Amino acid sequence: MRSILITGGNGGLGSGIGRYFLEKDPEAKVWLGVRSNRSTAEALEAEFPGRCALIDLEVTSKESWETAVATITETDGRLDVLVNNAGLHRDHLLATMPDEVWSSVISANLDAVFLGCRAVIRPMMGQRFGRIINISSLSAILPPLGQTNYAAAKAGVVALTQTLAKEVARAGITVNAILPGYIATEALAHMDEDAAKRAKAGIPMRRFGTPAEVASAVLFLACHDAGYVTGSALKIDGGIF
């Protein structure tokens, strides 16, 4: 059985990735990292008893990461895949951006990825196998107005991914990033109909992506056959960039 940890496990993308693993890979044991909101994750756990479990994880806490990874490796004997999916955006023009808005977004999107990668590297090196997939954003390479904090964090995730990939390649660990564009999750739920129409008009495919379309790429990067793919930054954006 392959042991897989997905952060942000209660969100639309995190739970969608978890579901995709559970449905497509009969060997997958999925751990959904959650903090407070957990109703969606609990429903997935109930649907796949014995193959899906929730684990408390505050992604900005070193201690929380160490506890979660220790629990998983003690339970399953290994940790094969980490999907760093948890994130946060709080858009604000830089000239008037409060310090806390900057630091909270950097912490949730970049510091959390650093802490997660560092926490899993040791057990993965011991196994001589590991797959790390970091969910960045199209904002890393095509940043919109008002996202200096989010775009900087997600660009940092890409640079971290590419550097770490070189550091651990000889240990049988691959590290890749995915850069989603507009994906139909709760993150887009606030958009009114006119705003959604305008957004879709700027996408060559004229539609939003689905969590399953991101999850399929994650599943590929996590598989044994993708062992020569590392340090990549794969955009999934319907052709925007």
Tally Cβ neighbours within 10 Å of residue 112.
26
Residue 20 is among the residues annotated as catalytic for this protein: no
- Sheet strand arrangement including 130-135: 52-56, 28-34, 2-6, 81-84, 130-135, 173-180, 233-236
Residues 6+ apart with CB under 8 A from 222: 4, 21, 80, 81, 83, 131, 133
**Exposure string for 131-147, b = 16+ CB within 10 A, e = fewer:** bbbbbbbbbbbebeeeb
Could you give the CA distance from residue 63 to residue 119 in angstroms, rounded to a whole number?
10
What is the rounded radius of gyration, in angstroms, for the C-alpha atoms of the chain?
17
Annotated catalytic residue within 20, 150, 182, 228:
150
Q: Residue by residue, what is the 3-state secondary structure of 138-186?
A: HHHCCCCCCCHHHHHHHHHHHHHHHHHHHHHHHHCEEEEEEEECCECCH
Beta bridge partners of 83: 6, 133
Active site residues: 150
